[in-house]
Structures are given as C-alpha cells and as structure tokens.
Amino acid sequence: MLHHAVTIFVSAFLLFQVQPIIAKIILPWFGGSAAVWTTCMLFFQMALLAGYLYSHWSTSRLAGKAQATVHIALLALSLAVLPVAPADHWKPAGGGNPTLQILALLAGTVGLPYLLLSTTGPLVQAWYARAMPGASPYRLFALSNIGSMLALLGYPTLIEPLLPTRFQAGVWSGAYVIFVFLCASLAWRARTLAVAPAQEQSIDQPPAAPPPFTHWLLWTGLAACASVLLLSITNHLTVDVAPIPFLWVLPLSLYLLSFILTFDSEGWYSRNWYLPMTALALAAMTHGISAETELDIPKKVALFASALFICCMTCHGEIASLKPHPRYLTSFYLMISIGGALGGLFVGVIAPTFFVNYSEFPIGIIACAILILLVQWGDKKSLLHRSQGGWAWVVASAATLAMAVLLVQHTQKSSAEYRTLVRNFYGGMRTADYGQEGDADWSRKLTHGVINHGEQYLHPSRAREQTSYFGPNAGVGRAIHSKDRDKPQKIGITGLGAGVMLTYARQGDHYRIYEINPLVVEIAKKEFTFIKDCPAKLDIVMGDARLSLEREQPQAYDVLHMDAFSSDSVPVHLLTREAFHLYFKHLKPDGILVIHISNRYLNLQPVIARAAQALGKPSALIEDGGDEDLGYYGTDMVLLANNRQDLEKPRLKGFPAPKVVDKVRLWTDDYSNLFRILR
C-alpha cells in the first residue's frame, strides 16, 4: 500500500508541477499572451486522456508480464527526452496563430514523460485493486489530487520566487528520474497480479453489473462542464490582469481540491448544501459578467474563484456519487478525462475560432445549470423529487431560463455596440464610434479586452491629432520632442494598436513598429487612417517584438517606445534585464528608451527601477494627468538613457527616478514575480 501511495503522490506532484514551469518558459516566445496557458492546458488534458486510454488498454488487454514489460520500456524511453527545457529552435519566426506550434513544442519536449505520469493514477489504482481485493482504490485518487494541489500551490509561493526558471526544469527532471524508479519497481512487482479482466471476479460473487449508459454520459458531461468553467474563469482573470502563475494556479488548485474532497469521502459533498450554493454561485457569476461596474482585483478573484469551487464541488460530487465497481475503474477515469479534454478543446480551440467574444464563459454557466437539473431529474432520491407539488422544479427551471436570457441579452447587447468584433489566439478586439456623427468630437476607439488601445477623431480636420495615451505631455511625446526635430528621426515602437503614435511621424522620419497580432494590423488599416496618412517611411514587423529585435542588426533608434500590452496585461519578457540590454543595443548613444507602465492592477515602477539600477542607466518617471477635453488619458511612463544629460533637456528636466522597492527583485529571463507587484 505504501509503495502504491508514494508512487501515485510523486507522479501527481510532478504532473502538475511541470505545467506552470513549462508554460512560464515558453510564455515569452508567444507574446506573453494569456492564451498560451489555455493552449498548454489543452495539451495537458489531451495528454491525460491519452494516458488514461493507455491505462485502460493495458489493464484490459495485456497479461501481467506483458503489461509490466511495456510500461517499464516506456518509462526507460522517456528518460531520453530529459531535461524538459525546450530548445531555442522551437521559438516562432513570426506572427499568426501559434496554437499548433505550442502543441508540437509541448509534445516534443515534455510529451512522453507527461503521458507516463498521467497513466500512473488509474494504472496503479488498478494494480492496487487486484493486489488488495475488497479494498477501495478510490482514496488513492484523492491522494493523487492532494499531490497535484500541493505542486500547484507550492509553485507561486515557493518555487517561482526562489528558483530560476531553467533550474526549475532541471530539478523537475531529476525528480522524474526518481519517479521512473518507483513506478518501474511497482510495475515489476505487479506483473503477477495484473490478471485478465475475466478473472477479476470471484466465482463466489455475482458479476458486477456494468454502469448504465446514462452514467457514462454524465461522467463525461459533468467533467466537461467543470473543465469549461475552469478554463473560462482562468481566461477571464488573466486576460484583464496578467498571465501570471498565481492566476493560473488558483483556479486549477480549487478545481483539484473539489476532486480531493469528493473522492476522499462521501461526507464532503452534500446535495442539500451544495445545490442552493451552486444556484447562488451561478447567479453571482452571471452578475459578475453582465454588471456594468468593473470589480477590483480582490473582489473579482474572490467572486469567480469561490463560484468555481462550488460548481466544481457539485459537478465532481455528482460524478463521485456515480462511481462504478472497481472492475470498471479505468473506464470511469477514461470518461472523466474525455470530458476534461472536450472542455479544453472547446475553450482552447473552438471558442477562439468560431466566437467573436468570450461566449464560452456564459455557455459554461448555462450548461452547468442545465446539467445539474438533468442529474436531479434522473435521480428519484434527489432533493427536487422530494419537494412537494413540483414547485421546486418550476422555480429551478425558471431561474435557469432567466439566467440564460440575461446572459444572451448581455452578449447580444455588448456585440451590437461595436462596429467590429473579432477574436483570435491573442484575444478579442473591437471598435466602436462615440459622439455625434459629423461633430468635431466624433471618435472611434479600439478596445482589446477591456482596455482602450487607441482612438481617432473622425472629423477630417482632427484625424491626425494625438489622442489617448500619446499626448504631447506624456513621456513618449516629451522624449520625441526633446530630440532635434529639424532632423529626420528613427522611432521604434512595440505594439501598433490603432496607430496613434504615427501622429508624431513627419516627412523624412522612419517609423518601425513591432506587432505580434495580425488582426491588430488588419483593424488598424481598415478602421483607422493613421497608417494610410503616415508621411514617414513605415515598417511593420510581424512577430514578438523581443524575438524580432534579437534577430535584427542594431537599428540606431532615436526613441524606442515599449508599448506592448495584451488588454491590460504587460508581457513579462519585455521587462527583464536581458530585454533592457537588447533595447539599448538598438538605441543611438543619445537615444531614449520609453517604457509605458500605466496599469490598473500592476505596479511596474519598481520593476523598471531595478532594471535601470542594474544597467546603471539614468531614469525619469513622467506621470501625466492627461486632459479628457483634448482626448488625452493619464499615463505613467519611465524614460531611460545612456547619459544623464539626455534626460536634462527642457522637456524632460525635473522628473524623479522611479522608486526601488526592497521586496521587488531584479527581473531576469530566469526570474520574474508578478504576484509581488499586484496592486
């Protein structure tokens, strides 16, 4: 028993520890988009499904010695791919949808080890059930989820703050070798126990009845529903805040905790408590999506995280109540993994391809309500069946219908407000017109997530006015005007947005913009005229800005403006020490680096202060209050230069340096911690 428990615990710990490690390593390669995590989750769910398929096949089709031989051979083969850190040749060369490339990278880097780790739970439980007739193997499933949750919770609190990312991958690879030894020795011991399925049932016992077909459907449907809610809530949080491990790990940990509790003991899940709580949770999420007011971080995280936990407890509690005889154990886990994979496929591939907004979240809420009602309908012992007069069914059905109508109306209303509504791997974007047509203040805005990414006045006389974050008193405006405007300037910009920065361009200038999202370029050309009216030479370089700069010869920029945002999220890899070294490689000796740090949720000032300190570069924090009457927003930008005198010119003089904060360490390609700078 101890050997089984240790093997399952170690495999589960490694299974979920590698997820944030590998995702954080490749996150910078694909623009720092929150969708990288969703794609990684899709891969992990598909690999888990493949592992459960293998477990079901091997326990039902292979004799004991053959099963042990095959598994030990695969374990030995998996050691050949260690360590699991991806090589540089996996880095993308340009823009576009990188979903297939991410899936291929993960398959080639961590695919076989992850597959074998995912087989351990059902395989070892099957071995245990055969070695210990009459003992329930399902508590081992709860133990595996404890190991998974400890791995996830330990990452943002212990692993990420203390260990460099590449070192994390090395330590994980060493621990995987230990797992291979544990699992191979257990397989060797079990080779005489893994008898054919027909021999599992004692001749003195009646044969175990197969589960009804409706149970198979419910195992899959409930698991898929929980998976959709997990991934859509994670998307909802990370798109508008930041794609940070904490906001990946918290929802996934709560998801796993629900598995732990519901499979450990029947006492953890009570319909009498959780059905009313689930109704409240679904209503709260509906309100959180459709409410006009924006919640702050603690309230938003608390609302959606607690609602996710309650819904997962209900979905997984109902699954656990339908557990079959141990003879059908691997089939049971296989259907659960199919449900999880279907949920991941829906959120990670189908939704970005076919939906123009984040409709998968409302769909998940409505599906959860309907599915729970169907479960209660099919169980004559349920609370709703015990209610007198059928009023409980009427109320529950009416509440579900009202919630669905509210979510559909909200989705339709939000869609009708916009001229353009599009979505791809990098998120959802939309444009809308504001003001009275023909008026001087009539304008068009580009929104990514919930953040304005540029605005243009539509009256011809104002079409080239500076707007939004790029007014003349903002840091980038001051930097450009501090240079000799009688000479041509070369300006580099990361992030195109609507193209407002091109209002600074003049005849003879050279502007070079780095943009990873092809939809942004398409919208900027179709919906705005900044690109068409640009008098300067203009290059638009597709792909991640940092990877593009790494491949280029020094560009000798007068000003390099780092303005890459995904909604309100800043790609971490653009703010590391190595990134700043790269930026100065592309600046003239008297060039100025401008970092746009305006953010609702993250205090980026100490991060830039640490980088300036490490590089020995003078810096200035320019906080511009903006002027709404003139269309300017308040901004915070930090300027860095090679020499102090470059920041002492009239337009730049007198601004303080950003403050160093003791708890915020220097960010490098191997270390960053967004959790430390959450407001």
Q: What span, in angstroms and rounded, lies between the C-alpha atoms of 519 and 96? A: 9
Q: Of 221-225, 397-401, 477-481, 580-584, where does mean pLDDT reach its minimum?
A: 397-401
The residues pairing with 427 across neighbouring beta strands, listed in sequence order, are: 424
pLDDT at residue 244, rounded to an integer: 60
Q: Do 48 and 106 meet the contact criterion of CB atoms below 8 Å apart?
A: no
Residue 315, pLDDT > 70, answer: yes
Residue 105, pLDDT > 70, answer: yes
Residue 176, pLDDT > 90, answer: yes
Write out the residue limits of the CATH 1.20.1250 domain(s) in the chain: 1-197, 210-416
Q: What span, in angstroms and rounded, lies between the C-alpha atoms of 336 and 216? A: 9
Higher pLDDT, 491 or 602: 491
Q: What span, in angstroms and rounded, lies between the C-alpha atoms of 13 and 262? A: 19
**Binning pLDDT at 50, 70 and 90, where does residue 586 land?**
very high
DSSP 569-593: BPPGGGSSHHHHHHHHHTEEEEEEE
Q: Is 428 left (phi over 0), alpha (psi -120 to 50) or beta?
A: beta
Q: What is the pTM of this model?
A: 0.80
pLDDT in tens, 397-412: 888 888 888 888 888 8
Collapse the DSSP code of 98 into the 3-class scheme (helix H, G, I; strand E, B; otherwise coil) and give the result: coil
CATH 1.20.1250 fits 1-197, yes or no: yes
**Binning pLDDT at 50, 70 and 90, where does residue 556 land?**
very high
pLDDT in tens, 438-451: 888 899 999 887 67
Higher pLDDT, 125 or 296: 125
Long-range CB pairs of 546-549, under 8 A, 24+ apart, other chains included: 546/28, 546/573, 546/574, 546/579, 546/582, 547/29, 547/91, 547/92, 548/514, 549/514, 549/582, 549/583, 549/586
Strands 443-448 and 451-457, how do they pair? antiparallel
pLDDT at residue 13, rounded to an integer: 93
Higher pLDDT, 571 or 109: 109
Provide mean pLDDT across the span 9-18. Answer: 92
Provide mean pLDDT across the span 222-233. Answer: 94
Q: Do 455 and 441 meet the contact criterion of CB atoms below 8 Å apart?
A: no
Q: Is 390 left (phi over 0), alpha (psi -120 to 50) or beta?
A: left
Q: How much of the chain exceeds pLDDT 90, in percent?
A: 43
Q: How much of the chain exceeds pLDDT 70, in percent?
A: 91
> If we measure between CA atoms, which residue out of 184, 268, 234, 177 comes closest to residue 20?
234
pLDDT at residue 393, rounded to an integer: 76
Q: Do 556 and 490 meet the contact criterion of CB atoms below 8 Å apart?
A: yes
pLDDT at residue 377, rounded to an integer: 82
**Binning pLDDT at 50, 70 and 90, where does residue 346 land?**
very high
Tokens at 7, concatenated: 């093997």
Cis previous bond, 83, omega within 30: yes
Write out the residue limits of the CATH 3.40.50.150 domain(s) in the chain: 470-677
CATH 1.20.1250 fits 210-416, yes or no: yes
Provide mean pLDDT across the span 121-138. Answer: 73
pLDDT at residue 206, rounded to an integer: 56
Residue 5, pLDDT > 90, answer: no
Q: Which helix (H) or strand (E) holds 55?
A: helix 35-61
Q: Which residue has the tokens 């916009």?
A: 418
- List the alpha helices (DSSP H) in 291-346: 297-321, 329-345
> If we measure between CA atoms, which residue out of 495, 127, 468 comes closest to residue 326?
127
pLDDT at residue 134, rounded to an integer: 61
Higher pLDDT, 144 or 222: 222
> If we measure between CA atoms, which residue out of 122, 328, 320 comes closest to residue 207?
328
Collapse the DSSP code of 295 into the 3-class scheme (helix H, G, I; strand E, B; otherwise coil) and give the result: coil
Catalogue the E-assigned strands of 466-517. Answer: 490-494, 510-515
Tokens at 677, concatenated: 């700078």
Number of helices (H), then strands (E), in the chain: 21, 11
Write phi, then psi, for 433 (nearest 5 degrees). -100, 145
pLDDT in tens, 247-271: 777 888 898 889 888 877 777 888 8
Residue 294, pLDDT > 50, answer: yes
Q: Do 599 and 240 meet the contact criterion of CB atoms below 8 Å apart?
A: no
Tokens at 595, concatenated: 């970092």
Q: What span, in angstroms and rounded, lies between the C-alpha atoms of 48 and 116? A: 9
CB hemisphere CA count around 165 (13 angstroms): 21
Q: Is 323 left (phi over 0), alpha (psi -120 to 50) or beta?
A: beta
Q: Average model confidence (pLDDT) for the chain?
A: 86
Provide mean pLDDT across the span 556-575. Answer: 81
CATH 3.40.50.150 fits 470-677, yes or no: yes
**Binning pLDDT at 50, 70 and 90, where does residue 600 land?**
confident
**Binning pLDDT at 50, 70 and 90, where does residue 201 land?**
very low
Tokens at 9, concatenated: 């615990």
Provide mean pLDDT across the span 494-513. Answer: 95
Catalogue the E-assigned strands of 529-618. Answer: 537-542, 557-562, 587-596
